[in-house]
Amino acid sequence: MTSPRLPREDLTAALAARRELGPDYDDAFIETVVDRIQEALDARAAHAPAPAKRARPARAPAPVTSERDHGLALAVLSLLAAIPLTAITAINAGLPGLVFTLAAIVLLNVTYNFRPRR
């Protein structure tokens, strides 16, 4: 069985009437359109079959916190940044520049991952 649709002709006519009436009737136009949409959604909900109940798993997995996501993103970006940075510093500053660059990347990651949590 198909669900009832909001008649496009009705909306087209309402939009044309709104254009003729001008901006003074915007609130009334919006209320009318919202009422029609709500009626169409209510009719769809009445015709929709009830969702089947699914058995819940015995134990839901722990949610992944955004803190861990940021740490992973920082680690990946650090690895991507390390490639050109090590090449540039090795060519221009030699071994001391390379050690400094890699130490800065490691220090950044360690500081971020071991900062106090709120």
Q: Are 7 and 43 in contact (CB under 8 A)?
A: no
pLDDT, tens digit (0-9, with 9 covering 90-100), for 43-84? 877 887 766 666 666 666 655 555 556 888 888 899 999 999
Q: Torsions phi, psi of 49, nearest 5?
A: -70, 150
Q: Does residue 7 carry a pLDDT above 70? A: no
> Distance (Å, rounded) from C-alpha 14 to C-alpha 43?
21
First to last CA, the chain: 53
pLDDT, tens digit (0-9, with 9 covering 90-100), for 25-45? 777 777 877 787 788 778 877
Q: What is the dihedral of CA 89, 93, 106, 75, to 10 degrees?
A: 0
Instruction: Read off the tokens for 45.
Output: 């909900």
Q: Does residue 9 carry a pLDDT above 90? A: no
